[in-house]
């Protein structure tokens, strides 16, 4: 079985280019809205890809040129009772948590609307590259609810408490330039250059050692939620562990020999 047939879904498309996996949410007729089936498939993919050595970096995007993810599928949510709503939100959070802690870097390539669950899933990725046509927002307040897939928690961690409150409480939608200004996205490019830019950065990351990448992600993610003293302990412990790897020996030897390192993830 080749790696592309390993990831065959009804609502997701997967393509492997060298060591970069491109995962596309493929429901363009409903602007790639998230429903339970999509969430289950995302859970399956990110559970599998953790142990797949052929995929070193994942780019997550949406099908078509209009939408990344326009939000959760409201038609499925309209008649939720509190128990169903809790189960849906909890499952959605578990999927996004899995994306966030995935040892493989995940880049969100936001090609259009990223509203509600679209903003939330992009924030669970390691960073966001956005098309100049992209739109972001948490408009759940307009439906009489709040962001349930992590929006009230990840957004203030990225843009600050006051800005997050303004966006969540107004339900305002912002463009890519404003998203860049407030620190929600890393880069804004013309639509036709979005995937090229994401691929270039993914390729740069894919050339590094997997163990060091995993350790960097863990230290940043975990360190953000603890005090500085304990975060620094976490860092020096990870530093020490990496110095026992073959990749550390190869990386430093290559530096001294003025050549590119050949990492083997050992």
Catalytically active residues are: 120, 140
Going by C-alpha positions, the residue among 212, 218, 228 that lies closest to residue 265 is: 212
**Burial class of residue 200 (count of CB atoms within 10 Å of its CB; 0-12, 13-18, 19+):** exposed
Going by C-alpha positions, the residue among 49, 52, 75, 51 that lies closest to residue 60 is: 49
The token duo for 251 is: 């990386």
What distance lies between CA 176 and its chain's CA centroid? 17
Query: What residues have CB less than 8 Å from 163, skipping those under 6 apart?
Result: 156, 182
């Amino acid at each position: 079985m080749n790696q592309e047939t390993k990831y065959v879904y009804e609502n997701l498309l997967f393509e492997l280019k060298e060591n970069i996996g491109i995962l596309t949410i493929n429901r363009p007729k409903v602007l790639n809205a998230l429903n339970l089936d999509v969430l289950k498939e995302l859970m399956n993919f990110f559970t599998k890809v953790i142990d797949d050595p052929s995929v070193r970096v994942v780019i997550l995007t949406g099908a078509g040129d209009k939408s990344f993810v326009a939000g959760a599928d409201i038609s499925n949510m309209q008649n939720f009772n509190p128990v169903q709503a809790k189960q849906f939100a909890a499952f959605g959070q578990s999927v996004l948590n899995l994306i966030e802690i995935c040892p493989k870097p995940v880049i969100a390539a936001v090609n259009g609307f990223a509203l509600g669950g679209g903003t939330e899933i992009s924030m669970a990725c390691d960073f966001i590259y956005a098309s100049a046509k992209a739109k972001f927002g948490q408009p759940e307040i307009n439906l009489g609810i709040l962001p349930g897939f992590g929006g009230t928690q990840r957004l203030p961690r990225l843009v600050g408490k006051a800005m997050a409150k303004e966006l969540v409480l107004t339900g305002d939608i912002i463009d890519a330039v404003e998203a860049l200004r407030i620190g929600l996205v890393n880069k804004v490019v013309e639509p036709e250059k979005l995937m090229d830019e994401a691929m270039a950065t993914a390729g740069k990351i894919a050339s590094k050692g997997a163990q060091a990448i995993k350790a960097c992600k863990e230290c940043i993610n975990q360190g953000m939620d603890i005090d500085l003293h304990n975060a620094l302990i976490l860092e020096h412990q990870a530093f020490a562990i990496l110095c026992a790897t073959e990749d550390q020996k190869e990386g430093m030897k290559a530096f001294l020999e003025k050549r590119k390192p050949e990492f083997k993830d050992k």
